[in-house]
Amino acid sequence: MLRFLNQCSRGRGAWLLLAFTAFVLEMVALYFQHVMMLKPCVMCIYERCALFGVMGAGIVGAIAPKTPLRFAALLIWLYSAVEGLRLSYEHTMIQLHPNPFVTCDFAARFPSWLPLNQWFPGIFVASGDCAEKQWSFLTLGMPQWLIVVFGVFLLIALLVLLAQFFKPKRRDLFTR
């Protein structure tokens, strides 16, 4: 399996699948926000940024998958998945154990050189409360589902990283 993952990481298809998966999740988030009228909180915006990081990793990996750029994409993927998992866990704890002393900010804080909330307000402006449970599916709230999503992203990223130490199988037409 690790040899197969190594082989996949050297092709564009797997990286584009990663980017597409994150893109679909972003579109679902925007559907929830603009069609279902759910208000994203600051933690939701930060989790959204982590998903954009995973999508960016897929795009970087698809640019030149057979070069060392693949390792940069893998590092972006790992970092984004870890941060997304951390943020989702923190958000879940805020919802499961509401406390007036543990709350999230009123507005997302982006660096001055990257004011995403000013450039793309329809995507990065927070207007909800982190402790409010606005949506659930199969008894799990949105941040709990994001723990699952980022956990899967992290597990696959770790397997792909481990697979980099195994040479891919060489498939010839006449050898088995």
Q: Which of 3, 10, 48, 170 is catalytic?
A: 48
Active site residue 8: no
Q: Which of 8, 10, 12, 130 is catalytic?
A: 130
Active site residue 130: yes
5-29 average pLDDT score: 85
175 pLDDT higher than 50: no
Q: Where are the domains of the chain?
A: 1-165
67-84 average pLDDT score: 91
Unique residue bearing structure tokens 């481990």: 162
Active site residue 12: no
Q: Which of 8, 86, 104, 170 is catalytic?
A: 104
CA–CA gap between residue 72 and residue 80 (Å, rounded): 12
Active site residue 48: yes
Kindly report the average pLDDT of the chain as a whole number.
83
* φ/ψ of residue 72, rounded to 5: -65, -40
For 43-72, what is each residue's pLDDT tens digit? 888 999 999 999 999 999 888 878 888 889
173 pLDDT higher than 70: no
Q: How far is CA 119 from the centre of its chain?
A: 21
Architecture field, domain 1-165: Up-down Bundle (1.20)
Q: Which of 12, 44, 70, 170 is catalytic?
A: 44
176 pLDDT higher than 70: no
139 pLDDT higher than 50: yes
* φ/ψ of residue 100, rounded to 5: -65, -15
Q: Which of 10, 41, 170, 176 is catalytic?
A: 41
Unique residue bearing structure tokens 């199988």: 169
Q: Which of 176, 161, 174, 139 is nearest to 5 (CA)?
A: 161
Q: Which amino acid is residue 150, in one-letter code?
A: F
State the pTM of this model: 0.81
pLDDT at 34: 85
